[in-house]
Amino acid sequence: MLESYKIKAVEHIELVPLKERVRALKEAFYNPYLLSANKVYIDLLSDSGTPALSNRQQASLLEPDESFSFQNSYYEFVKAVESIFGFSYVYPIHQGRMGEHILFKIKVKKGDYIPSNTHYATTKANIEHWGAKAVDFVIEEAYHPEVFHPFKGNIDIDRVSSFVREREKIPLAFLTITNNTCGDQPVSLENIRQYKQTLSKRNIPLYYDACRFAENAYFIKQREKKYSEYSIEQIVKKMFSCADGCILSAKKDGLSHIGGFFATRSAKLANEFENLILLMEGYHTHGGLTGRDLKIITIGLSETLSEKYLEFRTGQIQYLWKKLNDAGIPLYSPAGGNAVFVDVSKFLPHLRGEEYPTVALADELYRKGGVRAGGFQSEALQLLRLSIPRRVYTNSHIDYVAEVLKEVYEHRENITGLEIVYRPPYLEHYTARFKKR
Ligand SMILES: Cc1ncc(COP(=O)(O)O)c(C=O)c1O
C-alpha cells in the first residue's frame, strides 16, 4: 500500500493528558460530537469536510473572481459536473442536506413514500420533515455484520419491486452510494441497472445520494468482474447514466471542506430548484459558496477519480480493518469505503441498546487514547464508525488507533452505559447529552 501523496504543510496535534480528557468528556456530556476538537488527538468522527487539500487546490485559491453572479469558477464547475456525471442542470449548494431539504420540499407531499437502499440520517429526517416516509430496502446481508458480500449496499430488488408495484404516491426513489448507514458498503452496477428498470416501469425518477460515488466506482472495478478493465471515469459514467439526478455533498469524495451540488435532467424540476435556491442559499450560480469553494470542488472531483488515489484511500481503511480483525475485535465485514465499523453489540454484549453502547464505546476510545469516533445506532445495528479523513493521517496514526482500540477491547467488561438527559427533536446523535449510569 503506497501513499499517493507527500506532505507539504503540517498541523500540530497533541494527546492531552488523561485528566484533561476525562474533564473534556464530562464537559461534552459524554457525546463525542460535543468535544472540543483541540482536545482530540486522532479525529475519526467524520470523513465529511475533513480532507487535506492538494497543492493544486491550494494554488488555485486566488484564481476565481468573487463576483455576485456567474463567476468564472461557476462555469468551470458546471462543465466539470456535466462531463463527469452527464447531467444538464447543475446547481451548487452549500452542503448535501440543503439539496435534500429543497428537493423534498418540491417533490414530496404528506403520505408519500421514498424508497432507497438505506436513507442517510439527514435524508430520512428531511423526507419526514415534509410528512413523507423514508423506506429502506437494503439486502438482508447488510444487517449481518459478520456476513461477507461484495456489494452489501445493494437494494433488495424483489422487495422494492413489489413495493413500487403495490403503492401509489412514490414521487421519486433514492439510492445511497456508498451506503454509509449500513457499514458504508458499495452498490453494484448490476443492482443499479435492475433498480432503474423496476422504477422505469412506474415512471418513478431515480436520484442518487452520491457523496461517495468515486469510492463506490472503485469497488465496482475491484469486485464486479465485468468492469475490471474499465477506468474509474467510465464506471462513473455508467453508474450515473441510470440516474435522473443526484445530490452530491462534495465534503466527501469532492475533496472539499464545504459544498456540493444538485443535478437533474428535468428542466421543470431545475427551474423549481433554482427559485428555491435563491430563497434559501443565495444566487443560484454559487448556492452559498465562494468562487474559491467552487474551484476547490472542481479540482477535487478530478483528483478523486485517480485510481492510484482510490487504491491508497480504500487500502488505508482495509489496513485498519485487518489489524483490528487479526486482534479478534468484532467488526462489520467487509471494510467500508470511508470507515471501519466496530460491531458494538458483540464488543459490549453486557450493555442494552437503551444504555447507548456505541456512545459508551466512543467515550472509552477517547478516554484511553484521545481518538474520537462516532456511534451509528439503529434498531438493526449498533456500530462504532472509525471514519478516516481523506489524505490526512499516516499509517502510523492508523497503527496507533488500532493499538488503542485493542487496549479498550481487553478491558471491555469495565465499560458502563449511559443515560440520555437531553434528546433533541432531530438527528439525535449530533447534539444529545448523556450522563453516566
Ligand atoms: C450518505 C450521506 N448522505 C448525505 C449526507 C449529508 O451531507 P452534508 O453533510 O453535506 O449535509 C451525508 C453526510 O455525512 C452522508 O454521509
* 207 Cβ contact partners less than 8 Å away, ≥ 6 residues apart: 103, 172, 173, 174, 175, 243, 244, 245, 246, 247, 264
Minimum mean pLDDT range among 91-100, 208-217, 358-367, 368-377? 368-377
Average pLDDT over residues 269-283: 96
pLDDT for 435 equals 96
Probe target for ligand 1 pocket from 117, 123, 249, with the most ligand atoms within 8 Å of CB: 249
pLDDT level of residue 135 (50, 70, 90 thresholds): very high
> Residue 376 pLDDT more than 90?
no
> Residue 1 pLDDT more than 80?
no
pLDDT for 375 equals 84
Residue 435 CA to ligand 1 center (angstroms) comes to 28
Q: What domains appear along the chain, each with residue ranges and CATH number?
A: 18-47+306-436 (3.90.1150.10), 55-304 (3.40.640.10)
pLDDT level of residue 279 (50, 70, 90 thresholds): very high
CB-based pocket (< 6 A), ligand 1: 48, 95-97, 120, 122-123, 176, 180, 209, 211, 249, 251, 260
Which protein residue's CA is at the shortest distance from atom 8 of ligand 1? 96
Model pTM? 0.96
* 103 Cβ contact partners less than 8 Å away, ≥ 6 residues apart: 207, 247, 262, 273
Probe target for ligand 1 pocket from 180, 207, 427, with the most ligand atoms within 8 Å of CB: 180
Give the nearest ligand 1 atom to 97 CA.
11
Residue 49 CA to ligand 1 center (angstroms) comes to 10
Give the nearest ligand 1 atom to 209 CA.
3
Which protein residue's CA is at the shortest distance from atom 5 of ligand 1? 96
pLDDT for 6 equals 92
Residue 211 CA to ligand 1 center (angstroms) comes to 7
pLDDT for 70 equals 97
> Residue 150 pLDDT more than 90?
yes
Between CA 12 and CA 50 the distance in angstroms is: 15
Residue 307 CA to ligand 1 center (angstroms) comes to 23
Give the 3-state DSSP-derived string for the chain, with helices as H, strands as E and coil as C. Answer: CCCCCCCCCCCCCCCCCHHHHHHHHHHCCCCHHHCCHHHCCEEECCCCCCCCCCHHHHHCCCCCCCCCCCCHHHHHHHHHHHHHHCCCEEEEECCHHHHHHHHHHHHCCCCCEEEECCCCHHHHHHHHHCCCEEEECECHHHHCCCCCCCCCCCECHHHHHHHHHHCCCCCCEEEECCEHHHCCECCCHHHHHHHHHHHHCCCCCEEEECCCHHHHHHHHHHHCHHHCCCCHHHHHHHHHHCCCEEEEECCCCCCCCCCEEEEECCHHHHHHHHHHHHHHCCCCCCCCCCHHHHHHHHHHHHHHCCHHHHHHHHHHHHHHHHHHHHCCCCECCCCCCCEEEEEHHHHCCCCCHHHCHHHHHHHHHHHHHCEEEEEEECCCCEEEEEECCCCCCCHHHHHHHHHHHHHHHHCHHHCCCEEEEECCCCCHHHHCEEEEC
